[in-house]
Amino acid sequence: MFIDRLIRQIQEKKSNVVVGLDPRLEMIPKFIREKHYGLYGKNLRAAAEALWEFNREIIESVYDIVPAVKPQIAFYEQYGLEGLEAYQRTCNLAKEKGLLVIGDIKRGDIGTTSKAYADAHLGMVQVEDEKLEAFSVDAVTVNPYLGDDCLKEFIGDIQTYQKGMFVLVKTSNPTSGQLQDLESGGMKIYEIVAQMVNRWSKETLGEYGYASVGAVVAATYPEQARTLRMLMPASYFLVPGYGAQGGTAKDILDCFDEKGLGAIINSSRDILYAYRKNPKEYGEEDFGKAARAETSRMREEINDALDENGKKYW
């Protein structure tokens, strides 16, 4: 079951940190970019190969201190088929390294179409009597705007293939409140979505009392985490917005339960481009080392904050 594998990874690595693999071409060390422009020209192939080389080093640098990585598919999709091939290779390498891979795809559609997305990213697709994998990762993010029809199809593949999902409940962007914070019948929309998530979570409970149906809950709105923790007692939170987007270790404490389980905290930019923040200490070629140092620092920062609040799990 996805959630049990995740919790075991967290425990083993003493880490609640997820590295967001959102590579931006212009932020990748120049020597990598130049190498691939030299080989392929300035085209989609070169961009994709640069992304892949960058990711490879990042994964090699952090795989033993984080339970999971979260590639954001949009950053690959923008480079077309070549970019999506880099996404696929990235996911495969991370899996080989024992990491769980959370595909940040934010898909969601009507029933039969959601089934196609679920098969594409979690399950397998049928070609006559053959069952084949397309982009198979361990868990995905899902958009709830179409309601249970949509979520149900992902649940099907979660149960069949022992996978997971994180439903967008409260996102980290400035205008997330525009729809998500509206009140209806005394509840916020994001709380109503939380109730939907909670209902589905009951069908995928694992041995630690958590479910393979989790929720995206932003670190940028800490006051909401407390309510959401209560509304979704069995759902793991995937928490974006730490670091670059403004969330701090204090802000994310309420995403965890009393024992110190319940949340994984994503950071992308601060980790991937750590080498640029400290050019005296790190040259471009040290980007992996810098990423590891920042991941490590963030891991300790979160663990210390949990410890101080009596929430250290291990």
In the three-class reduction of DSSP (H, G, I as helix; E, B as strand; rest coil), residue 43 is classed as coil
| Contacting residue, 5, 13, 70, 107, with a second copy by CB under 8 A | 107
Phi, psi of 154 (to 5 degrees): -70, -40
Element (H, E) at 31: helix 30-40
Least distance from C-beta 184 to a second copy, angstroms?
Answer: 4
Window 158-177: contact mask with a second copy (x via CB under 8 A): ----------x--xxxxxxx
Looking at residues 288 to 307 of the shown chain, list those that interact with a second copy (rule: CB under 8 A). Answer: none
Q: What angle do CA 155, 256, 258 make, to 5 degrees?
A: 115
| Contacting residue, 67, 71, 103, 108, with a second copy by CB under 8 A | 108
| Contacting residue, 4, 60, 109, 300, with a second copy by CB under 8 A | 109
Q: How many residues bind a second copy (CB under 8 A)?
A: 73
In the three-class reduction of DSSP (H, G, I as helix; E, B as strand; rest coil), residue 267 is classed as strand
Quick one: which segment of 104-112, 200-208, 255-263, 304-312 binds a second copy (CB under 8 A)?
104-112
Looking at residues 192 to 211 of the shown chain, list those that interact with a second copy (rule: CB under 8 A). Answer: 192-193, 196
Cβ atoms within 10 A of the Cβ of 43, count? 13
Least distance from C-beta 136 to a second copy, angstroms?
Answer: 9
Least distance from C-beta 167 to a second copy, angstroms?
Answer: 11
Window 225-264: contact mask with a second copy (x via CB under 8 A): ---------------x------------------------
- Contact yes or no for 232/197 (Cβ under 8 A): yes
- Contact yes or no for 129/165 (Cβ under 8 A): no
| Contacting residue, 12, 31, 125, 283, with a second copy by CB under 8 A | 125
Annotated active-site residue 259? The verdict is no
Return d(Cα 55, Cα 267) in angstroms, integer. Answer: 15
Minimum CB distance to a second copy smaller for 145 or for 314: 145
By CB under 8 A, is residue 178 in contact with a second copy? yes
Quick one: which segment of 91-99, 108-116, 205-213, 271-279 binds a second copy (CB under 8 A)?
108-116
Distances (CA, A) of 49 to 20, 45, 84, 128: 18, 6, 11, 34
Contacts with 176 (C-beta within 8 Å, 6 or more apart), sequence order: 170, 218, 221
> How far from the centroid of its chain's Cα atoms is residue 41's Cα?
32
Q: What angle do CA 204, 222, 193 make, to 5 degrees?
A: 40
Cβ atoms within 10 A of the Cβ of 229, count? 21
Looking at residues 23 to 82 of the shown chain, list those that interact with a second copy (rule: CB under 8 A). Answer: 25-26, 33, 37, 42-44, 46-47, 72, 74-75, 77-81
By CB under 8 A, is residue 150 in contact with a second copy? yes
Least distance from C-beta 303 to a second copy, angstroms?
Answer: 27
- DSSP string across 207-234: TTS-EEEEEEE-TT-HHHHHHHHHH-TT
| Contacting residue, 31, 182, 199, 233, with a second copy by CB under 8 A | 182
Least distance from C-beta 314 to a second copy, angstroms?
Answer: 32
Return d(Cα 51, Cα 26) in angstroms, integer. Answer: 10
Q: Point out the catalytic residue in the list 95, 106, 289, 312.
A: 106
Return d(Cα 39, Cα 188) in angstroms, integer. Answer: 53
By CB under 8 A, is residue 156 in contact with a second copy? no
Minimum CB distance to a second copy smaller for 33 or for 292: 33
| Contacting residue, 53, 85, 157, 251, with a second copy by CB under 8 A | 85
Residues identified as active-site: 106
